Every structure is written in structure tokens, then in C-alpha cells.
Structure 1
Amino acid sequence: MAKRSNARRRWNRLVGYRLEAAGLALLLGLLRLLSLDAASALGGRLAGMLGPRLGASRRMRRAIARSFPDMPETEREAVLAGAWENFGRTMAEYAHLDTLARDWDRRVEMSGGEHLSALAADGRPGIAITGHFANWELAGMACARHGVDLTFVFREPNNPYAARRLAAARAALGGTMVPKGRAAAKGLLTAMRSGGHVGLLVDQKLNEGIPVPFLGRDAMTGTVMADLALRFDAPVVPVRVTRLKGARFRVEAMPPLVFPRSGDMQADVAAAMAQVNALMGDWVRAAPGQWLWQHRRWPD
């Protein structure tokens, strides 16, 4: 068994990863041949056709039903279909992130930009948060356009060649990317200590987190945002992305959140994350088909 495992690793390192990266490069190249609108529509159509037939959709249906127990089944199926279409569009749009950045004024309705400008100018460390809604990468673009230079965490693919391809595609986002893991904590702390800004996606499951209600059920929730905000007395600005039609969006930056301070750090962290989960839940309820239900947010 060990020999087979070692052989598999050698195959991946020498051949498999290169083939995988070549396939990714070909896909991105083909999508680049299309316009942004055509690529987004194609991705949405393919994911909309194939996604509901995949095994992941069984878990997604359960999560949607438990989150919206009073919703008719036909509406829940529409949420599932919308989630797959949005996922496909977002993945295809990675080939055109530079186009989205260049065509921002034509494709994006921006509101609340003054909150991001204030975050950039106040001379303090700060945090911008969002969740996996619509094309969530536009939250980072909005920050960059208003002078907020973000340090943000991403999960680096196991394939180093694919990682370089994706990093090149994400260059339009600006900011500093730190890979998830030990380097992430150091990178975030360095940014905050230097008066910089951190970008966080706060709607994902983290097994090392704490149970916090989300859409009516406890969900393991990371506390990094609350830890940093309370430790550095840093403003936290939520940035919400909504898909309007096709590859057109609304991006809304909100006033900084106000968190309670009781003197009990553990209780304050839990209260802050409960407040954030409530906000994310409101966003899901407002546009349930635009959230990433593919993510395993709760245990089945």
C-alpha cells in the first residue's frame, strides 16, 4: 500500500500535475476566446445542467430544506438550480477577472464606497468581510478601487502548476495572498500590526472554530475575524455582492459593524461571530440561489 501511495505521488509530481495544469490552461484559454458575457453564460448553462445530477446536490437539497423548512419544494429546487448556475458563471468568470476590473463602471452598481474609502484613510488596521455570494471576488476588487490594500487567505491547490495559473488569473484582484495554513495567521497578524487591512470570507465551516447559529442551526465558525477585530480595535466593513443579470452585479459596502465589549474576551468573540453569522444569514435569505450551497457548512 505504501509503495502504491509513493508511486501515485511521484506520478502526480512528474506527470499528473502537469497534465492537470495543461487542462486548466486550455480551459482558461478557451474561455478567454469568448467574451465575458458568453463565457459566464456558458459556465452557468453547463453547471445548471450537470450540477443537479451530481451527488453533491443531495447534500445541498438537505441543507436548503433544513434552512428553509417552510419553502415549497418547487422553490427549493429553484434555489438549487440557481446555486449551480451561479457557481458555473463564477468559475467561468475567473478567466475574465481582468475584464471585470476594466469594465467595472459599466458592469457594477457600487454603493457605500465611502465606507471603504474611510477604512483606507483612517490610519488604523481594518477588516473587510464578505461571503460566497454571486461572484465574491468583486468584494476584493471594490476594496482595491477604494484604496484598501487587502491581505487575504486562500486555499492553495495541491497542484503547484495549477496554483500558479490561478494566481495569475487572480492578479486583477490586487492585494496580497497568503496560503491557508500556518503562514496565514502570520500574514494576517503582520498586516494588522503594520496598520494594514485584511479581507476575510466568513461563511465557511472551520472545524477548529466554535458552534454559532447560522440559518437556524449551529455551524462550526472560525473566530479569526472577531479575534483580530477585538484585539486591534479594528473596524469591520461588510461588503455584499449580488448578481443582477448575467455578468452584471451590485456591490454594497456597509457601515462598520459595532461589536459588544463585556471584558470577557471569549464571550465577546462568540457574540461578534453570532452577529456576523446573522448578517450572512440575512444575505442568504435575500438571495438564496446566489450562495455557495456546495460548501459543506453543516454536518449531515
Structure 2
Amino acid sequence: MSSLRALFVRIARRARLVLAPLWESLVVGTLRGLVWWSRLFPVSWSCAIIASLAKLCGPFFVVSRTARRNLRAAFPEKSGWEVWWLVVGVWDNLGRMAAEFAHLDRIWDYDPAHPDAGRIEIVGADIMARLRDDGRPALFFTAHTGNWELNAITGAKLGVPGGVLYRAPNIKKAADLIAEMRAQTMPGLVKASRHAGRQMARMLEDGAHIGMLVDQHWGQGVTVRFFGRPAATNPTLARLARQFDCPVHGMRVIRLPKGRFRIEITEEVPLPRDRDGRIDVEGAMQAVTSVIEGWVREYPAQWLWLHRRWR
């Protein structure tokens, strides 16, 4: 029996070695095809088509069970139908974001002289100008709301030097393709790895500004309360703020009707400190998480409920 099991294991390993490259090529080929197809049409057309398909099919995917479970726990007062339509909204946002990803180099049209004329409006542009000119490093936190990719573009477009921490997909060819597309509009990308902390520290020493998403589960992180439930959170933001004693600001993207976006930059978020006057890491991450919870409560259909935030 054991020899038969060993035979099946060897067959499975060999099949994986053969099929893995084919699977990666299929995924990357599909991504390239979608990008090419999306760029043939105006962004509004691409968004309408892909969002319609996402809303039609997405709620029936297995991963949507996670979204419904999360929403019922976060909003126990909502009915089953309200939860269902929030999940539909989540897929609508994801579908539009997928289409917009192919147009990131075309979407930005913010003009300080006519701030309400284009697709992009900014609340807190004066804060960014102040951070740009004060000669000090700063940290930004954000969440998976609206089209969160626009956060990384904002700093570069407003002349604020810095970088963005990101997590690459597991499929290397897909990760390379996405990094190639992001590099056109997002300078200073920092890939999440064991060396990322040191890289970001060097950037902050040079007076740069670092942004990162902090609303996903992190098994080795600190525990905070999010919608009244314990959630493990990556403490890197707070540790860097403690090390450099630099200000921390929030930044979010809100999806508006007619293909428009509002980018909001908060004033410095006050962070709790210990008896020695240094930033308290766990308390800081709770303060940041509380801000994000407020964002999610305001626009629940624009957050990524598909992720297993609570474990």
C-alpha cells in the first residue's frame, strides 16, 4: 500500500512540473489579452463590460461565501438581501478596477487649475504640497477601497518622492507583467520580502515618503479590533513610524459615479505613545485600523470583503 502511495506521489510531482509552466503561460497570456482588448476601447466601455460580467458571475463564486460571512459578522443588522447586493457591489468595483488597470496611464487627468474638471478630484492636495516641501519623511496607510492602485500614482503626480510597498502575485510571469505595467506610473515600488523593511528604512533616511496597504491578515502581526473582532495586522507601518518618529497620514480612493474618483489625504493621524514618548506599535496600528473601519463603513461595497480578514 505504501509503495502504491509513493507511486502516486511521484506521478503527481511530475505532472505538476509539466503542468505548472503551461498554467503560468495560460494565465499570463490571458492577462496580456485582456489588457490588449481593454485598451482598444474607451475606459468607460471596458469598465461597463467587465463590471457587468463580474456582477453577473462573481456572487456565485466560492470566494463570495467569505464575503457574505464577513459582511454578516460586520453588519449583523443587515438583511440577507442587503448583504447580497453589497457582494454584487464588491464585484462591480473589482470588475471596473480590472478594466481600469489597463488604462492607468490614461486615467489621471487632475489639473490643479481646474480641480473639478476631470476624472480625478483630490481632497488634501495642500497636505501633499506641505509634505513635499518640508524635507521630512512621512508614511501613508491605505486600504483596498475604490481603485486603490491610484494611491500609488497620486504621490508621483503631485511631486512627492517616495515608494509603495506591494505584494507580488505567486505566479512569477504574472508578477513580472503587473510590475512592468505599474512601473510606467508608479515609481519607487518596493516588493514585499524579508529585505523590504531595510529598503524602506533607507528610503525614509533619505527623506522619502512610503505608502502601504494595511488592511489584510498578517499571521505574525499585532492584534487589533476591526468591526469589533480581533484581526492580525502587519505592524511595519508603526515600527517605521516609531523608528523615524515621522508623521503618518491616511490616503484612500473613493469611486464616484460616471467613472470619477475622489482621492482623500488625511491630516496626520495622532498615534499613542508609551511612557518614554515613543510610538506604541500596537496602539498605533489600532488607531490606523479604526480610521480604515470608518472608511469601510462609509462605502462598504467598495472594500475587498472577499479576503479572509478574520481568522
Task: Please tell me the TM-score bracket, short chain as reference.
Answer: over 0.9
Q: Deviations over 1:215-242 (max 9, x none)?
A: 1111111111111112101111111210
Residue in 2 that maps onto 1:204: 216
* Structure richer in helix, relative to its length: 1
Q: Deviations over 1:7-41 (max 9, x none)?
A: 5235434x432332222111110111111111111
What is the rounded CA distance, in whole Å, between the counterparts of 1:277 and 1:19 in structure 2? Answer: 38
**Aligned residues: percent identity?**
37
Q: Quickly say closer, same or farther: Cα 1:246–1:182, change in 2 above 3 A.
A: farther
Give 1:39's match in structure 2, choosing from 43, 46, 60.
Answer: 46
Give 1:155's match in structure 2, choosing from 151, 157, 167.
Answer: 167
SS in 2 for 1:128: strand
Are the counterparts in 2 of residues 41 and 246 from structure 1 also a CA contact under 8 Å?
no
Residue in 2 that maps onto 1:95: 102
Q: TM-score, normalised by structure 2?
A: 0.90
Moved more, 81-90 or 115-124: 115-124
Residue in 1 that maps onto 2:20: 12
Tell me the CA shift for residue 269 of structure 1. Answer: 1.0
Moved more, 27-36 or 190-199: 190-199
Q: TM-score, normalised by structure 1?
A: 0.93
Residue in 1 that maps onto 2:248: 236
Q: Deviations over 1:131-186 (max 9, x none)?
A: 00000111122222222223222222233322222122213432212222213222
Tell me the CA shift for residue 280 of structure 1. Answer: 0.4
Are the counterparts in 2 of residues 137 and 173 from structure 1 also a CA contact under 8 Å?
no
Give 1:27's match in structure 2, choosing from 6, 26, 34.
Answer: 34
- Provide the alpha-carbon RMSD of the alignment: 1.9
Are the counterparts in 2 of residues 116 and 237 from structure 1 also a CA contact under 8 Å?
no
Residue in 2 that maps onto 1:273: 285
Residue in 2 that maps onto 1:175: 187
Are the counterparts in 2 of residues 39 and 92 from structure 1 also a CA contact under 8 Å?
yes
Residue in 2 that maps onto 1:144: 156
* AA of the residue aligned to 2:249: V
* AA of the residue aligned to 2:244: F
Q: Quickly say closer, same or farther: Cα 1:127–1:65, change in 2 above 3 A.
A: same
Tell me the CA shift for residue 49 of structure 1. Answer: 0.7
Gaps of 5+ in 2: 1-8, 112-117
How many residue pairs end up in the alignment?
Answer: 297
What is the rounded CA distance, in whole Å, between the counterparts of 2:10 and 2:110 in structure 1? Answer: 51
Mapping 1:64-79, distance limit 5 Å: 64-79=71-86
Instruction: Tell me if 1:249 matches 2:261.
Output: yes
Q: Quickly say closer, same or farther: Cα 1:186–1:100, change in 2 above 3 A.
A: same
SS in 2 for 1:33: coil
